[in-house]
Each structure stands twice: as C-alpha cells, then as structure tokens.
Structure 1
Amino acid sequence: MSELSDELKAFNKSRLPEMVKLKYEAMTENAFRFFRGTCHLFYQRLSKIKHLPSSPLAWICGDLHLENFGSYKGNNKLVYFDLNDFDEAVLAPALWEVLRLVTSIFIAFDALDIDQEQAQNMGVLFINTYAATLCKGKAVGIEPRTSRGIVTEFLKKAEKSTYREILEKRTENKGNKVVLSLRHERHFKLNKELKKQLEEHVTQWIQKSNDGPYNYKVKDAVFRLAGTGSIGVKRYLILLKSTNTKEKYLIVDMKQSFDSSLAPYLTVKQPEWENNAQRIISVQQRMQNVFPSLLSTTEFRGEEYVIQELQPVKDTLEFKMIKNQYRDLYQVVDDMAVLTASSQLRSGGMNGSAIIDELKAFGENVAKWKQAVLDYAVNDAENVKSDYKQFVKEYGGKAFENEYSTTNTIDTHATV
C-alpha cells in the first residue's frame, strides 16, 4: 500500500464508507476531479515549501478552483456570481488562495485538452487582474447589470429560473402528496428512524431559529449526494410546504461540517468559533458580496450542520462547455480574479486579516511574487497528475476495497 493510499484513507475515514466509494469513483474521472477531491494534499505539499513569497493574512475559502464559482440567489432575491464553497475557509496567507486557483487552471486545462500556452496566459491574466483589483482597494460584486460576456448569459438564465423548475426536477407526486423524488440519481432513501428524527429536528429549527422560514412545515427528507470533495459528508434535503400559500414549497439543504483540511498546516491563530458550522457561515458572510437565503447553523445528533435554501439557481460554470471559446475563457478567468481579490478586500481588517492598505501594497508589488506563483502552479500541477495516475492504478488494483465493505455500514444514515 502506498503513502498516497494511506493518506486518502486516513482523510476519508470519518466519512460515510458507502458514499466514500462514490467519491473515489468520481475522482478517477480525470486529474482535475482528483484535485477537487484532495484539497488536503495540496496544502500538505504547500506547507513543505520554504521559499514561497510572503503575503498578507486574508480570509480565504481555502478550496478555490475554477468550478467553485457560480450563480445563486442572495437573501435579497437578486442573482449574483461569486465564490460559492466555504467548507475549508480559514484565515491564512492571501497567496494560498491564488496558488490553488492558478494550479487548478493548469490541471483543468490539461484535462480538457486545452493548450498549455493558453493555461499559462490564463494564469498570468488571473494574477494580474487579482493584483490590479487589490490596488484599487474596493471590493466589486458581479450581478446581471455589472457582468460581461458569458457570465451575463449565465446570470440572465439564472434570473429566469423559478422554484417550479427545481420542484419538477427534485420532487414527484405520490398519491395526493408532493415528495422528494428517489428517482433523482443523487437522492437516497433515509431509514425510518433517522428520517423521523431529522424531520422533527427541522420542525424545531423552523419554530425556534431566527433564520428559519416562517409558516412552513416539514413534508419529506432524503439523503443528498453533491460535489466531489464533500462526497461522504452527511447531507440532507428537506422539503417544506407553506402553511399560508397553497402549493408553495421550499427545499432546504443541510450539510455536515468538519474541521478545515487546511487546519493542520496553519500557524496563524484562528478565532475561537463556536463550532465548524459557525466558522463556515461567518467567513462566507464576510467574503461574499451577498450571502444565500436561510444561511444558518444547527446541531443534529451531536454533529454540526450548515443550513441554507436549495435554490433554483446555484450553478457552476462547466469549463468543458466553453473550452474552445477563448474570449469567454478570458472573461470568466478575469471575473474570477476580480471576485477573489474582492472577497479579501471585503473581509479585510476582520479578526486579524490585513487591512485594505496592506492588501493594496501587496497588489502593487505583484512583480515580486507573480513568477513564483506561476512556477509553483506548474510544478504542483505535475505533482497532482502524478498522484492521479497512481491513484487510478491503485484504485483499479482494488487497494481501496476495504474502505467500503459489502455490509451496509451506513444503514443508520441512508439506504443506498
């Protein structure tokens, strides 16, 4: 058994075994999917580099890559394009965020068979725009009126999306009832006891939480599979029905929270959060221009969860759809750089993060750190591709079979 296999097993041992099987399967798709599922390995390698350029402390989402930006409806019901995954969020050197994103460019473009010269150009573009945005010292948000290129089309489509569309996709009629559909490929049936406890818990959350939706009652619940790195985490969808408006429904996403995978490599003192769910939503509220509806936390069966509304709009750009459209690629990467810098400016001066003047000075000195970022990204992309090849070989050789035995190890959580 290799060191890589041991590290992957150790990291995923606290996840649901039968779902971890699906995670490993997803990670065999290509090196970029593997990269998305192994955030901890990226920071493990990064922590061993002794001569990286220094950078100011900033709030970072931690797992920034090309597909962790997307559209969503904020709590003000307007549509935005922004960073959208904060499970790993911490206070860390600002460059860590840049390094992971630029590395993702080289890996994703290679997986999509896009010329590596284009990847180099996009890496340079991201760094230059990120630094220029810091120099301006003002955070920017992207919504339909301020968007450009393909993001404009993306957001206009998002504006037109309705809750009826998400209900049609995720629910079905059973007799005279509307229930969450088990024919959906990423919905799984809960056993009766768990489902009962979960529905009772969400009912209490609605009644007692200031963040809960008023005048709704719980109608159904399922286990949800989503993402890549988060596969194996306990995650539920709960269907709510309005008690005031006929045939009006909401779907709530409830996702288990863990320690950030960056935690073992941090030397920076972090705030004393109440729990990991509180860490996640607190940093999200700081970094996003506008945060999603119903964003809150809860504790269920002694475990921490983040709750938010599952929206008709929360889409990520799939780069394979625009890989041959250079102008669109250019605009999207430019937007992502603006948003990355803006998230750090927006959360500047909070709990130890650098103030705006420090971030501006860092941006002005881009010439001192740009080449080091590009060199690291190119080198680490090769490390990831090497690890990916080894993983696929060992996965095909059944090295991970004991991780998900044929016994139903998750029958207290979900029935697959």
Structure 2
Amino acid sequence: MANDKRSQSAKRNEHNKRNKRLPQPDERQAILTEQRRLKMARSPHAYVRGATAQFYEWIVETNGSSLPHGPAVWICGDCHTGNLGPLANQDGKVEIHIRDLDQTVIGNPVHDLIRLGLSLATAARGSALAGLTTVHMMEALAAGYESAFATQRKKPALPERPEPVHLAMKQAVRRSWRHLAEERIDDLKPTIPLGKRFWPLSRNECKSIDALFRDEAIASLPTGLRGRKDTGAVEILDAAYWVKGCSSLGRLRYAVLLDVDGGVIEGDDLCLMDIKEGVKAAAPRYGDAAMPRDNAERVVEGARHLSPFLGERMRAARMLDRAVVIRELLPQDLKLEIDEISEDEAREVAFYLAAVVGKAHARQMDPPTRRAWLAELRRNRSKTIDAPLWLWNSVVQLVSSHEAGYLEHCRRYATGVN
C-alpha cells in the first residue's frame, strides 16, 4: 500500500478497535467456531451445506461399494445448491456454473449428483413439500443430468431456465459495481468498513498482502477484464480479514480493495479481490488421478475444467506459507437461493441444476466415454421410480442421517455439550 493510504487505513483500524473491540487475529478461531455452529443450527439445509465431511464419511463407510465407478473427471466435491449460480467471464458474458471449487478433485461424478440430490431433498423438506414431490425431484435430477450425455453436441446445451434461476440471471446481468459494493462492503467509499463481517489485520498480514499484489501474475487479474487497460497500475486501497461463515473457520480469508489505473473512480477503476486459503479436500479422489499437490493449484485447475468462466479469473499463490486462491469478485457473481422451493418449481429446478452439473462433467469426456457413462446411468431402474436405485437409496439414507445429525448438532450447540 502507498504510505498515505497505509496511514489512513491504520488510523481507521485503530479507531474501530477502540470503539468496537473487534476480534484480533489470535481471537478469530474461537469466535468463528461459535459462528459456524450457530449457522449450521439455523435449518437442516444449512446443516447439510456445512457438513461436507460427514457426507463423505457416509459415502465411504456406508454406501461407497454400491455406487457405480464413474469416469475419472474433475468434480465439484461439494455440489449443493448454494454452490451453483450466475458467473461472469472476463468478457462480461454470464452463465450458470458451479461457483465454489474448494473441494474439487478428480473423482467419481456420482458424488456430485448425490450431494445435489441431498441438498434438493433437504430444501423440499424445509419447504414442507410432499414426499411424492421429492420422488419426482429425484427423477428430474436423473433426467437432467443424463440430458448432458444424451446429446451428440460437443458442448451440451442447457434447458430453458426455471423461474428461480431465470430471476437470478436477470438480477445478475443488471448488477453493477454499486450493487457489489453495497452488498459486500456496505459502502461505496474506497474503504472496507471493519465490523461484523470484516476484522482488522495483523502487520504481518498487511505486509503479505502487499507482497502478493506486487507479483505481476496476481496484479494482472483485475487488469484482464474487458474495459480495463492491460497496463493499468494496481494499488491496494484497503484490506481486511473476511468472515465468510463456515468457510472462514481456521483458514486465511481476506477482502482486498484495489484501485486500477488510479483516480478511484466508481465502477471499473475499483475492484474487490477475494483471497481464500486452499485446504485439503474432504472429497475422495481416484487413487491413480494425477492432480496438483498444492491445494490452491488444485482448486484453480478444477475450476478451469468445471467452471471455465471462474477458472480464467483465478490464480494460485503462496501467502504466509499457505496455499491461497485469488480472484476478483464481479457484480454478476451470485449464488442461487434455493433454501425454499415451491411444488410447481421443484422438478424444473432439479432438472436444470442437474443439467448444469452434467454439462460440467460431460465437457471433460470424449464421445465413447459419454455413451458408456449414459448407459451405466440408465441401468438399475425399478418400476416405482425412474431414477437409478443407488441415487434414490443414497439420498433417502443421507436425508435420514443428516436429519439426526442436525438435531444432535442443535442439542450440543444449545447445551454447550461437546
């Protein structure tokens, strides 16, 4: 940071610390642990989103041997509904993609399908939908996923967007820097206000962020977007530790506000960067799969295969001796809010989101592999449900185990028993 900007930021941090007593770096872990517990106790669907490790424990210990051995492709690894949504590429085009790749590995694609099925079934239960509706959702889920492999096109097309997805897309394409600033940092000023969502940095963290953006490969991220000068100077205006729910726990996570080209003009000259630690994935990988050993490089490589719009906007780096992923947050980047769903929308949403995941998997397969995988998906059907029995049985058992886990989590959180 420039000396004058550093001085302003330091004074503001000291003012906030005196008046709000914000958590210091050595106090973060305990507070984040409590926040994570509280967030997961809000609803069964919130619990499912935060229980990735429990999901894979069940997959491996309970049902892993009964699942088909799908082609070796990059999978999301944490494919719940909140991890899908509109994303913009560097040229401003917006599409629905997988938007969070922390857990990405080269593994079994059925894991993504089951995780999405669990998420949708939990949303249906939270919306008080009939059990028969969940049956129909799982049938639509299977059909939507298979549609990506049934076409002869090299790039499978998505079906017509259901209303909840269409509304999210309309909102995304209309958004500007003003919307992003008001949503993420509650302000249009070129500072990050410390408070509930942003906490002060240590001196070592400030120095490390400064060093990170002196790297030309990292500094070129915001200058690569359409409408910005490739040679534009990048200056750090402000930075803070970013409290981001379950994903912040025990990880490096920072928001960095940059000025590109100078002048601090609202719009294209300002950008908000997200620095997130890459950690070991809970999702099981195929043993013979060749993946980057560095966790940040793994996340970036997975994004390039699964969500090209996001992958082209990400870089892997090292900070404070840890692997981190850096990307610019764009106004068009949104997550789908499917916590509640109507009966009329349930099947359409399940079909569409499964098609998005299927497209991400299918683009990594050659035609013979697609055909063989489609044939496997269409096996083992019963007369009572038009979906693979392994998918239905997995979702039923997972809904049951996660419901019990959620209630036990609430008891422990409420009583303080560990």
* Band the TM-score falls in, shorter-chain normalisation: 0.7 to 0.9
1:252 aligns with 2:262: no
Amino acid at match of 2:96: F
Contact 1:296 1:308 in 2 (8 A): yes
Q: 1:189-228, aligned counterparts within 5 Å?
A: 189-191=200-202, 193-206=203-216, 210-211=220-221, 213=223, 214-228=232-246
1:104 aligns with 2:123: no
Where does residue 30 of structure 1 map in the other structure?
Answer: 43
SS in 2 for 1:16: helix
2: CA distance between counterparts of 1:260 and 1:312?
A: 28
Contact 2:144 2:353 in 1 (8 A): no
2: CA distance between counterparts of 1:115 and 1:106?
A: 11
Deviation at 1:155, TM superposition (A): 1.2
1:179 aligns with 2:194: no
1:393 aligns with 2:411: yes
Q: Calculate the aligned-residue CA RMSD, in Å.
A: 2.5
Percent identical pairs in the alignment equals 18
Choose between structure 1 and 2: higher helix proportion: 2
Q: TM-score, normalised by structure 2?
A: 0.81
Q: How many residues align?
A: 370
1:361-394 alpha-carbon deviations (Å, 9 max, x no partner): 2213433241221111111110111111112112
1:116 aligns with 2:138: no
Contact 1:80 1:142 in 2 (8 A): no
2: CA distance between counterparts of 1:333 and 1:172?
A: 33
Deviation at 1:127, TM superposition (A): 0.6
Over 3 Å counting, the alpha-carbon distance change for 1:136 and 1:250 in structure 2 is same
SS in 2 for 1:64: coil
1:26-68 alpha-carbon deviations (Å, 9 max, x no partner): 1111222111111111111111223223332222110011221
SS in 2 for 1:238: strand
Deviates more, 1:112-121 or 1:332-341: 112-121
Over 3 Å counting, the alpha-carbon distance change for 1:336 and 1:288 in structure 2 is same
Contact 1:298 1:307 in 2 (8 A): yes
Amino acid at match of 2:85: G
Over 3 Å counting, the alpha-carbon distance change for 1:209 and 1:187 in structure 2 is closer
Over 3 Å counting, the alpha-carbon distance change for 1:173 and 1:34 in structure 2 is closer
Q: TM-score, normalised by structure 1?
A: 0.81
1:228-278 alpha-carbon deviations (Å, 9 max, x no partner): 355442210000012345512111000001011124xx4522324151101
Where does residue 155 of structure 1 map in the other structure?
Answer: 169
2: CA distance between counterparts of 1:340 and 1:27?
A: 25
2: CA distance between counterparts of 1:53 and 1:152?
A: 33
Which ranges of structure 1 fall in alignment gaps of 5 or more residues? Answer: 1-14, 349-354, 401-416
Contact 2:294 2:323 in 1 (8 A): yes
1:76-107 alpha-carbon deviations (Å, 9 max, x no partner): 21111111111111111221111111122222
Where does residue 299 of structure 2 map in the other structure?
Answer: 280
SS in 1 for 2:190: strand
Where does residue 22 of structure 2 map in the other structure?
Answer: none
Contact 1:134 1:345 in 2 (8 A): yes
Over 3 Å counting, the alpha-carbon distance change for 1:227 and 1:74 in structure 2 is farther
1: CA distance between counterparts of 2:141 and 2:187?
A: 47
2: CA distance between counterparts of 1:373 and 1:205?
A: 46
2: CA distance between counterparts of 1:207 and 1:268?
A: 32
Deviation at 1:216, TM superposition (A): 1.6
1: CA distance between counterparts of 2:292 and 2:240?
A: 29
